């Protein structure tokens, strides 16, 4: 970074001291951060919400709140801050707009509603997303943070505001549920 010499004497005739700032422009820094991290934030938001429109709204909200707090978070880990905003915004949205109807029907037909088998990878990914959607919101958040984002139990607990034991038990139940949803009934367990 180059040094900028500035005279602290007022300019003639104006009485004002010129202000020269050295360093990076915070708006440019945030813009670069947003461009680099929006795809990853969208993937996380989609896995948390299960809906592309909600995911876009969550990412927009996360970027907005991260920009407002940019002076505080720019020196630390702004991606972690934005990820935390995504999780809490999803919780707030769920609490505010919960209108689901609980039934006794098990989740059936995960494979029937998926995409055509022409692209096996896409069909498998679609099947996994549908299985994630069958989990409770708490289980899905723990699975996404713990296994898809490869966070430690302590980091996941801190990010969600729950204890480490709760992360362990929730992850265990969620993985058991995913095993029953992802593995077709006829295949059983693999050895």
Q: What is the pLDDT of residues 10-46, one digit of tens each?
A: 445 555 433 333 357 888 889 999 999 999 999 999 9
User: Which has more confidence, 187 or 9?
Assistant: 187
Tokens standing for 166?
């709760």
Please state, in angstroms and rounded to a whole number, the distance separating the CA atoms of residues 48 and 61.
Answer: 14
pLDDT digits (tens, 9 = 90+) for 134-159: 899 899 999 988 988 888 999 999 98
Q: What is the DSSP string of 32-62?
A: HHHHHHHHHHHHHHHHHHS-HHHHHHHHHHH
pLDDT digits (tens, 9 = 90+) for 37-71: 999 999 999 988 888 999 999 999 999 999 999 99
- The percent of residues in the chain predicted with pLDDT above 70, rounded, is 69
Average pLDDT, the chain: 77
Please state, in angstroms and rounded to a whole number, the distance separating the CA atoms of residues 45 and 50.
Answer: 8
> 163, 154 in Cβ contact below 8 A?
no
Please state, in angstroms and rounded to a whole number, the distance separating the CA atoms of residues 62 and 64.
Answer: 5
| Per-residue confidence band for 105, with pLDDT thresholds at 50, 70 and 90 | low
């Amino acid at each position: 970074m180059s040094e900028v010499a500035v005279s602290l004497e007022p300019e003639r005739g104006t009485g004002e001291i010129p202000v020269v700032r050295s360093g990076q422009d915070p708006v440019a820094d945030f813009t670069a951060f947003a461009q680099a991290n929006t795809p990853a934030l969208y993937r996380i938001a989609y896995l948390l919400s299960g809906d592309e429109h909600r995911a876009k709204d969550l990412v927009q909200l996360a970027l907005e709140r991260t920009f407002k707090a940019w002076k505080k978070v720019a020196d630390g880990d702004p991606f972690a801050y934005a990820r935390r905003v995504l999780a809490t915004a999803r919780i707030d949205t769920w609490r505010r707009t919960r209108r689901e109807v609980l039934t006794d029907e098990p989740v059936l037909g995960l494979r029937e509603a998926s995409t055509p088998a022409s692209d096996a990878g896409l069909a498998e990914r679609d099947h996994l997303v549908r299985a994630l959607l069958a989990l409770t919101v708490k289980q899905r958040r723990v699975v996404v943070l713990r296994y898809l984002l490869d966070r430690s139990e302590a980091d996941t607990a801190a990010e969600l505001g729950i204890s480490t034991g709760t992360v362990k038990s929730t992850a265990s139940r969620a993985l058991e549920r995913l095993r029953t949803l992802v593995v077709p009934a006829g295949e059983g367990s693999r050895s």
